[in-house]
Structure 1
Amino acid sequence: MAVPEVLDRVPLLSGVPRSVEELPGGLTNHNYKVTTPGGTYVARVWASDSSLLGIDRDAEHACSRAAAAAGVGAPVHAYLPELGVLVVGFLPGRTFTEADLRDPANLPRVAQACRRLHAGPRFVRDFDMFEVQRHYLGIVRERGYRLPANYLDFMPAVEDIRKCLQIRAEGTVPCNNDLLPGNIIDDGHRLWLIDYEYAGNNDPCFELGNIWSESDLPLGHLEELVTAYYGRRLRHKIARARLLGLMSKYGWTLWASIQDGANESIDFDFWSWGMEKYERAVAEFTGSALAYLMDEAARAD
């Protein structure tokens, strides 16, 4: 169905003058800014097989509402799963870039936004990258999608990391789990977090490690982000976030493999995107710091 037809079937957006502008970004949706006399909205129209990627659209809707209630997400105005569309309020402001995250002055602001989300209502599902990675691996094998060279060689190390992190596990909080720079909006006063496709209750150190991983930030920035989040420097939390950042790279690599094999509606080089993450993961798996990080994560400060 063409986008104008979809919008015509959304009561909030139909029967009124409107202008429609496609927004950049979005690897599983097409996003449109829709301006009407009554307000400005973003219509998120699904553009991929969400079941393969582990996206539950009902959960995305519920988590989006919870994030809005926490005061960190856009308000939710309409959800029509039969049309494949979620309508949220447009947040005026500037989308973050990697350069913004490389500015140390922004790291306490990001930590504060994460704390607001994490202190909000619990989400309707959990997110565990160890489980997600295994799910993605099963799909890649079953469907014969491309697997990076030597990918399976690191599975024993993944199991060691999983067991290590269980030692000092301190529960989960509602996390976005996908905070690329483009999912952070700066309105000039505060930061907002958008896009809750992968949202779920998770270890807060995954949120922090994933931010570090997605933008390939310097290690010192991860230490500053974790310290700003917890209010003091905790060696075991920094190590934990770094290990979960490694799992982020390793797991999202398979997300890219699935998208490369299955998604024909978005013109994007998913394989190269995933291989960049995988190469950085390999460097950490084979580097000298892995055993040290697991030791740091498992012991008290």
Structure 2
Amino acid sequence: MLQQILDDWPHWQLCSEAPTLDNISPLPGGLTNHCYLLRLPEGDYVLRVEGRNSRALDINRAAELQIHHLVAAQGLTPTIRFRSPGGHYWIRDYVPGTPLTNPQLDLPLLLIMAQQLQQLHQLYPPAEIPKLSISEKAGHYWDTITAHFAVMDRMTAAAEELLALRGPLQSLLSGAPDNQRCLCHMDPTAPNWIQTAENKLVLLDWEYAAIGHPLWDLAALLQGVDLSADDEQTLLQAYGLKHYRGWEFAKTQMSYLAALWYRAQGLWSDRELIAYLNGLKALAE
């Protein structure tokens, strides 16, 4: 597959001679796509090969590309230099740096990240960018989980207990904190940020981006981060929020989507998901 991609090099208009497999090396991370560092005499790039689970994870690749171009034009993410006609890979500028981890996310760093999200939220997206519905996205993940059970051709007690949570949670966690809508990344968790040697922060991986609620991005930013209630309030104030109605609801909604995503990807067991969803259900009731 990689050699076939490299054979496309005349179409890239990025190099004057054919690259070889020696010019590429895997990059760490990525649970959906496969990324490689592409070293050419003309510069370094990232070759991203799309995963085969885009449909299962309800990823709109056309919208992702459109959003990426929009955000890159504002200097908020690296520029895409080539996308294959079939859409299964693209090449973008390489940003040297280190992916962030949750233990690094102290309040000063989170304030900078929230400020960059605010810049994103102020952009005017094209009218055709899809609007995110929490219940629809969650429903797609539920369908993927249910399909796993169908392949097994039997329902375990845990599977039945898990699926019984779908109706109540879909009802409790549908909608949005209020009527605000803007362009959102929807997955600004630590691994999707690169910190450069100059301490610049660059947000990557726009495959879940959509029109959403700004609190969803802030809630996703804080997932897995040990932040006190006072520091959370400081972050929200720095973002410019004048009230905090809907904040706890937004956090629960994003935790709900993340948990279903982990199970749809096969990263959590049924029992792990049941315990977690029961906790969310208690918070939402």
Whether TM exceeds 0.5 here: the answer is: yes
State the 1:160 CA deviation: 3.7
Q: 1:181-219 CA deviation, whole Å, 9 max, x = no partner?
A: 111122234321110111111101001111222x24335
**For residue 155 of structure 2, what is the aligned residue in structure 1?**
none
106 and 279 in structure 1: CA distance in 2 versus 1, 3 angstrom threshold: farther
Q: Does the CA-based 8 Å contact 1:67-1:117 persist in structure 2?
A: yes
83 and 207 in structure 1: CA distance in 2 versus 1, 3 angstrom threshold: closer
The counterpart of 2:257, out of the listed 220, 228, 251, is 251
**Residue 101 of structure 2 corresponds to residue 105 of structure 1:** no
State the alpha-carbon separation in 2 of the partners of residues 147 and 81 from structure 1.
Answer: 41
**For residue 168 of structure 2, what is the aligned residue in structure 1?**
156
**For residue 263 of structure 1, what is the aligned residue in structure 2?**
none
State the alpha-carbon separation in 1 of the partners of residues 109 and 220 from structure 2.
Answer: 16
**Residue 111 of structure 2 corresponds to residue 115 of structure 1:** no
**Residue 25 of structure 2 corresponds to residue 21 of structure 1:** yes
State the alpha-carbon separation in 1 of the partners of residues 164 and 228 from structure 2.
Answer: 26
State the alpha-carbon separation in 1 of the partners of residues 221 and 167 from structure 2.
Answer: 23
SS at match of 2:205: coil
SS at match of 2:239: helix
State the 1:177 CA deviation: 0.6
Q: Does the CA-based 8 Å contact 2:7-2:18 persist in structure 1?
A: no
State the 1:68 CA deviation: 0.5
Amino acid paired to 1:217:
D
284 and 66 in structure 1: CA distance in 2 versus 1, 3 angstrom threshold: same
Amino acid paired to 1:282:
N
Q: Does the CA-based 8 Å contact 2:60-2:207 persist in structure 1?
A: yes
State the 1:16 CA deviation: 4.2
The counterpart of 2:268, out of the listed 271, 282, 285, is 271
The counterpart of 2:68, out of the listed 64, 67, 87, is 64
Amino acid paired to 2:184:
C
**For residue 295 of structure 1, what is the aligned residue in structure 2?**
none
136 and 157 in structure 1: CA distance in 2 versus 1, 3 angstrom threshold: closer
SS at match of 2:4: helix
Q: Does the CA-based 8 Å contact 1:175-1:204 persist in structure 2?
A: yes
**For residue 188 of structure 2, what is the aligned residue in structure 1?**
179
278 and 77 in structure 1: CA distance in 2 versus 1, 3 angstrom threshold: farther
Percent identity (aligned): 25
**For residue 205 of structure 2, what is the aligned residue in structure 1?**
195
State the alpha-carbon separation in 2 of the partners of residues 245 and 16 from structure 1.
Answer: 48
Larger deviation, residues 132-141 vs 46-55: 132-141
**For residue 86 of structure 2, what is the aligned residue in structure 1?**
82
Kindly report which structure 2 residues correspond to 1:198-213, keeping only aligned pairs within 5 A, or say none: 198-213=208-223
State the 1:143 CA deviation: 4.9
**For residue 282 of structure 2, what is the aligned residue in structure 1?**
286
Q: 1:75-127 CA deviation, whole Å, 9 max, x = no partner?
A: 111111526102111112221111122x1111110111101211224152222
**Residue 234 of structure 2 corresponds to residue 234 of structure 1:** no
Instruction: Quote the RMSD (CA, aligned, Å).
Output: 2.7
SS at match of 2:39: strand
**Residue 90 of structure 2 corresponds to residue 93 of structure 1:** no
State the 1:169 CA deviation: 1.8
Q: Does the CA-based 8 Å contact 1:42-1:89 persist in structure 2?
A: yes
State the alpha-carbon separation in 1 of the partners of residues 234 and 182 from structure 2.
Answer: 21
